[in-house]
Amino acid sequence: MKASIIGLWALSSLIGVSNGLNNMEGSRERTNASMSGVDVNSGSDISIETAVVGAAANGQGAVGGVADERRGLVSLAAPAKYPYMEHLGLRPLPRNALLASLQFYMQSNSFQVGKQQDGSDYNHYTVFPKSITPVMENTQTRQLHLRFTHGLWDHENWGQLPHAGAKSGGSGVELWAVMEAGSRDEAFRNWLLMTHSLSGLFCASINFIDSTKTTFPVSSFQPRTDERIPLLNGTNHLYLLRGSLANEPVCTENLTPFLKLLPTRGRQGLSTLLEGHKVFGSRWHSLSLDVSTICSEEGLCHYEMEEFIELALDVPSTLARVERPIPKPLDGSNLRCDTSKHHDSWTCFPLSDSTSAKIELSKLFGRYIMDATELSDTPSKACVKVSDNWKVLIKAGDAYFTTATNCFDVKGKKWHDIYLDTDDTTKVYPVDSSPVFVTRSLTGYSQDKGGLRTVFRNPTDQPVSLVYFESLPWYMRLYLSTVKIETDDNLSINDVIKSTYYLPARDRERPTHLEYQMVIPANTTFALTYQFDKSLLQYAEYPPDANHGFEIESAVVTVLSPFKYEFRTATLLLSLSTPDFSMPYNVIILTSTVMGLIFGTLFNMLVKKITTVEEADKHMQHSGLRARARSIKQNLFDKLGSQKLKKD
């Protein structure tokens, strides 16, 4: 009987999954949305082109991709059993680096907007993570974007960030979301609820993003013009909120939740490559999560989630750690010396890294690609983007093969590996150079005031239009009247800054919000400087490592033309007046000592009796130890004498 019940339940579950998949709508059309503080329709000049993969069911459950590398996954036309895809991209970079990009896409089942669920209703999540849906529903979030980034991306040598920077954040943790709410205060309450939920979900300090670290962007972080975000309640508005934690440590405990969101849980498919020591030992790594709400005109909606894990590996150092887990000097026979100079057993002028390389993916990651995912009929893809002087070899089980496009499908229960071989690592696939370079630094050394200097450099032959976004903590009292431009090209501020949005900080309530819409002339370099005051903090507001300084989050640069691109500057370290935290302990010790001396003196004066020396001597004669001894001796003699008299 129990077996038959379980069989009926399993059959009904499969029917429910099939119906849910058949109801998925693949069209990109959304309902019209109005945004308070964010103009979607007018944001075409300042929108960010994110990498979103379209999923099309059309009654068959087929999932399609986007062929453009900047837009996400490659095109996969085969029908899928479940709306889940994964893709691995490898690309050698200059200076012996290797970019590895793992991309995962999944889609939830369709649900009806505004339908009240009763006790008999149930939901099938299939490949979509069950933990994400309550966060989206309880906070009325329509779009969620989360970034964990750490390390340094070499813009000068490596060119543009992957996916035009749409999948990368500033150093630390960055979060922004589009929320539906009836008012700004309600949106902020939902925002705090979401940050606390994500903090527990991803084992991070996201709950520290409070009002002092939250802004409502006006020109930056805008959705694409083709993303009409659904507004499920016509009386509400859409609000865009953004927060960041500068230099938040990113480690294995953050990678594990990302893997748990995948239906394979890191045990099958491309996710088996990911190992914490290899990922976080890279020169640059980024973990990104994007969740969007997609609705059709019929009122059916579903969630689309993209997860990107990208890292830039330094190949020589990574392989050296594999060969020598315990660091030790190389033997003399293994040193690469400059033969044009004097060298012997004791003298060597070392050469740079070798230009020839033989790379095995399993050695870089410490793992093979183990088995193909069985959740989807669409096979996982792995592609290598190299120039003609590179040789690519794929190993599947015991077989070796190559392909014309250097792309292959991960199929079957086999171990897969990729081999790269070249005689000249300096020749790589051409990289796209960044249209503009922006660097930021602090000036001044005073304890009560300082300055901020931002250098913009346009190396191209055409002007660059961009939006510069900056969020500064409230204890940096910025003076916008002190903004100056430093240049050799006779430029004025009005020639560069076309519009300004400035919201001053409020102590312990909100940060300084600054956005510039700028045009950088061709082949031009200039610097913007302004001054600020440093506020005094209460002693409880200092972190445990107060002498280390305070991290200032990255500025965000969104390039609008000649093409869409986005990147962040480096973080800053601000030194504030730090009190002597040992002083209270010194005061406590000194005060306790003085109080002890005073108490002892008063106690002796109150308890002890003051007498003259003569009285003390007389008293000692009758109360001292000798007096007691004489008294005892006399008593003994008296008793012995009385006993002798009685005998007589």
372 falls within a domain:
no
Shared domain for 243 and 181, answered yes or no, is yes
Instruction: State the Cα–Cα distance between residues 150 and 284, nearest whole angstrom.
Output: 6
- State which of 297, 326, 355 marks the end of a domain: 326
Shared domain for 493 and 558, answered yes or no, is yes
> ∠508-149-506 over CA atoms, to 5°?
10
Give the pLDDT of residue 308: 97
Please state, for a pLDDT cut of 90, what percent of the chain lies above it: 56
Shared domain for 625 and 491, answered yes or no, is no
The token duo for 565 is 């691109």
More confident residue, 415 or 225: 415
Amino acid (one-letter) located at 390: W
Phi/psi for 531 (5° steps) reads: -105, 160
Domain with 442, as residue range(s), is 437-574
Instruction: State the Cα–Cα distance between residues 572 and 594, nearest whole angstrom.
Output: 46
| Predicted confidence band of residue 120 (pLDDT cuts 50, 70, 90) | low
12 falls within a domain:
no
Give the pLDDT of residue 325: 83
Instruction: State the Cα–Cα distance between residues 415 and 362, nearest whole angstrom.
Output: 10
More confident residue, 47 or 429: 429
| Predicted confidence band of residue 479 (pLDDT cuts 50, 70, 90) | very high
Give the pLDDT of residue 113: 67
Name 328's Cβ contacts closer than 8 Å, sequence gap at least 6. Answer: none
Report the Cα 477 to chain-centroid distance in Å.
27
| Predicted confidence band of residue 111 (pLDDT cuts 50, 70, 90) | confident
CA atoms within 13 A on the CB side of 216: 16
536 falls within a domain:
yes
Give me the numbers of helices (H) and strands (E) for the chain, helices first please: 12, 27
351 falls within a domain:
no
212 falls within a domain:
yes
- Please say if the pLDDT value at position 65 is more than 50: no
Give the pLDDT of residue 386: 94
Give the pLDDT of residue 514: 97
More confident residue, 29 or 414: 414
**Terminal-to-terminal C-alpha distance of the chain:** 115
Shared domain for 558 and 453, answered yes or no, is yes
The token duo for 524 is 């031009």
Q: How many domains does the chain have?
A: 3
Comparing 515-519, 597-601, 614-618, which segment has the lowest mean pLDDT?
A: 614-618
- For helices 625-647 and 613-623, give the axis angle rounded to 10 degrees: 40
Give the pLDDT of residue 350: 80
- State which of 280, 311, 326 marks the end of a domain: 326
| Predicted confidence band of residue 398 (pLDDT cuts 50, 70, 90) | confident
Shared domain for 53 and 201, answered yes or no, is yes
443 falls within a domain:
yes
On whether the CB atoms of residues 467 and 48 are closer than 8 A, the answer is no
Give the pLDDT of residue 48: 28
Shared domain for 166 and 190, answered yes or no, is yes
535: domain CATH number?
A: 2.60.40.740
The token duo for 337 is 């010396």
Shared domain for 518 and 617, answered yes or no, is no
Shared domain for 502 and 523, answered yes or no, is yes
- Please say if the pLDDT value at position 270 is more than 80: yes
pLDDT digits over 459-477, tens only? 999 999 999 999 999 999 9
Residue in 140, 112, 62, 122 with CA at minimum distance from that of residue 296: 112
Shared domain for 488 and 594, answered yes or no, is no
- Residue 292, beta-bridge partner list: 143, 304
Name 277's Cβ contacts closer than 8 Å, sequence gap at least 6. Answer: 252, 366
Give the pLDDT of residue 226: 62
pLDDT digits over 298-323, tens only? 888 999 999 999 999 999 989 888 88
- Please say if the pLDDT value at position 68 is more than 50: no
- Residue 85, beta-bridge partner list: 105
- For helices 184-202 and 252-261, give the axis angle rounded to 10 degrees: 100
Shared domain for 200 and 318, answered yes or no, is yes
Most confident of 11-15, 457-461, 582-586: 457-461
| Predicted confidence band of residue 104 (pLDDT cuts 50, 70, 90) | very high
| Predicted confidence band of residue 645 (pLDDT cuts 50, 70, 90) | low
Give the pLDDT of residue 330: 75
The residue assigned the tokens 């001597």 is: 617
Shared domain for 204 and 243, answered yes or no, is yes
Shared domain for 518 and 621, answered yes or no, is no
506 falls within a domain:
yes
Most confident of 223-232, 486-495, 635-644: 486-495
Kindly provide the residue ranges of all beta strands, DSSP E only, lying in 152-250, ordered along the sequence: 172-181, 214-215, 237-246
648 falls within a domain:
no
pLDDT digits over 239-269, tens only? 999 999 998 888 888 999 999 999 999 988 9
On whether the CB atoms of residues 215 and 140 are closer than 8 A, the answer is no
- State which of 326, 350, 374 marks the end of a domain: 326
